Amino acid sequence: MNINEERIEELRRLFGRPCNVVIVGHTNPDGDAIGSSLALAEVLTARGHKVTCALPNNYPYYLRWIPDSEHIIIYRNDDEHCTEKALGEADVIVCADMNALTRADALGEAVSKNSTAKRVLIDHHLYPAEGFDIVFSHPESSSTAFLMYSIIVALYGKEAITAKIATQLYVGIMTDTGNFAFSNLTPDLFEAVAALSATGINIPQIYNNVYNSFTEGRAKLFGYTINRKMKTLLGGRVAYMSLTEEEMRRYWFQQGDNEGFVNYPLTIKKMKMSAMFTAQTGFIRVSLRSRGDVDVDTFARRYFNGGGHKNAAGGKSFVSMDETIAHYINSVKEYHEEGLV
Ligand code: 5GP
Ligand code: MN
């Protein structure tokens, strides 16, 4: 990956003396946010910096095995105000796998109260926000973890990549590429994976830890969602599914259990776009996926207060489930009339 050497030099200068660093990821943290944050934390800690990783809310149970994830502070449960203390002392705040502080909700607001720390952005989403001092914005990267690998190697060489760091980074790359099935699978990504593999990491075990570690309730909820809740539009080229709180309770829902469901309609050959609406407290979470030229980043921005990538985006809806679905159906119609789906 083409990393700007001047920015690497700025980072090197920044970390040239012992720093207090806070690394922040986005709400509903995924393997990429966690893996890339923890890898950077490990690299910096090994070089004498004091590092705190913070996330706005908790992450799914099938990611709890990731080395050092137990040290992450969950801001929503942080009754002892460790996050505020760390932010108050921070010389550097790194935002990883998010393009704006608003992606970290209340934690983002806490970060914005610190006006003295240098702010670093390391991300692969489109449209990075203003207000960062050093920006590594690479939407062409399959994952933030691959970008983080490239930055770590540019800073400290391949020797800096230990097996622990390789495991953390591999989780991010694997989850954000759908186990090497999505776009942006470049030769240099596989060179990075070769280097991670050379540290001796157990790739099948990492796969099993993430993808074969669900509960029985999750399997049943998945079957129910596809069988009973998947609806199609435009002659079977657009799909949507929804889950209410009552339906989730019925299958002993745990955070993260519906992750990936939205991809499944795209296993149908002619499907171009898929949506999943999940009830949360106070709003409905919208997940969107698409194939090829159908741009769900634009769709999410236009209709659902969100964004993301061209083929994977998300947003929020603040009306009822029925109204959200009606809004989706109308939006798909409008998008279709413009020739966008
Ligand atoms: P997911 O469907 O897995 O929650 O999200 C897919 C992609 O969309 C991710 O890259 C995520 O960062 C982005 N995304 C999800 N929700 C939101 C949102 O509310 N706002 C923005 N800007 N991006 C989102
Ligand atoms: Mn990511």
User: Is the pLDDT at 39 greater than 90, yes or no?
Assistant: yes
Nearest to 174 by CA among 149, 199, 151: 149
Mutate to test the pocket of ligand 1, among 26, 34, 101, 103 (most ligand atoms within 8 A of CB): 103
- Among the residue ranges 5-14, 65-74, 108-117, the one predicted with the least confidence is 108-117
Regarding the beta carbon of 275 and ligand 1, being less than 6 Å apart is answered: no
pLDDT of residue 181: 94
For 326, what's the count of Cα atoms within 13 Å in the CB-facing half-sphere?
5
Counting residues of the chain whose pLDDT is more than 90, the rounded percentage is 99
List of E strands, the chain: 20-24, 50-55, 73-74, 92-96, 118-123, 134-137, 231-233, 238-243, 273-280, 283-290, 307-308, 312-317
Regarding the beta carbon of 60 and ligand 1, being less than 6 Å apart is answered: no
Regarding the beta carbon of 56 and ligand 1, being less than 6 Å apart is answered: no
pLDDT of residue 193: 98
Greatest pairwise CA separation for the chain in angstroms: 61
Q: Which amino acid is at 304?
A: F
pLDDT of residue 99: 97
Ligand number, closest to the Cα atom of 108: 1
* Full-model pTM: 0.95
Nearest to 165 by CA among 22, 37, 25: 37
Q: Which two tokens stand for residue 199?
A: 């540290």
Q: Give the pLDDT mean for 103-132.
A: 95
Burial class (CB in 10 A: 0-12, 13-18, 19+), 272: buried
- Among the residue ranges 114-118, 216-220, 228-232, 239-243, the one predicted with the least confidence is 114-118
User: Is the pLDDT at 212 greater than 90, yes or no?
Assistant: yes
Please name the helix (run of DSSP H) or strand (run of DSSP E) that holds residue 194, with its range, or none.
helix 187-197
For 156, what's the count of Cα atoms within 13 Å in the CB-facing half-sphere?
16
Which band of pLDDT confidence, cut at 50, 70 and 90, is reported for residue 12?
Answer: very high
Quickly count helices (H) and strands (E) in the chain.
12, 12
How remote is the CA of residue 252 from the centroid of ligand 2, in Å?
27
182 phi, psi to nearest 5 deg: -95, -170
The number of residues making up the chain comes to: 341
pLDDT of residue 93: 98
Taking the CA of residue 176 as reference, the ligand 1 atom at the shortest distance is 10
User: Is the pLDDT at 169 greater than 90, yes or no?
Assistant: yes
SS3 50: strand
Q: Give the pLDDT mean for 210-236.
A: 97
For atom 14 of ligand 1, the residue with the nearest CA is: 314
Which band of pLDDT confidence, cut at 50, 70 and 90, is reported for residue 114?
Answer: confident
Mutate to test the pocket of ligand 1, among 36, 102, 125 (most ligand atoms within 8 A of CB): 125
Q: Which amino acid is at 167?
A: T
pLDDT of residue 41: 98
The overall average pLDDT reported for the chain is 97
Taking the CA of residue 97 as reference, the ligand 1 atom at the shortest distance is 12
pLDDT digits (tens, 9 = 90+) for 256-283: 999 999 999 999 999 999 999 999 999 9
Which band of pLDDT confidence, cut at 50, 70 and 90, is reported for residue 115?
Answer: confident
Return d(Cα 257, Cα 321) in angstroms, integer: 19
Mutate to test the pocket of ligand 1, among 57, 287, 295, 318 (most ligand atoms within 8 A of CB): 287
pLDDT of residue 73: 98
Which band of pLDDT confidence, cut at 50, 70 and 90, is reported for residue 183?
Answer: confident
Return d(Cα 88, Cα 110) in angstroms, integer: 10
Bridge-based pairing of strands 307-308 and 312-317 is antiparallel
168 in Cβ contact with 63 (< 8 Å)? no
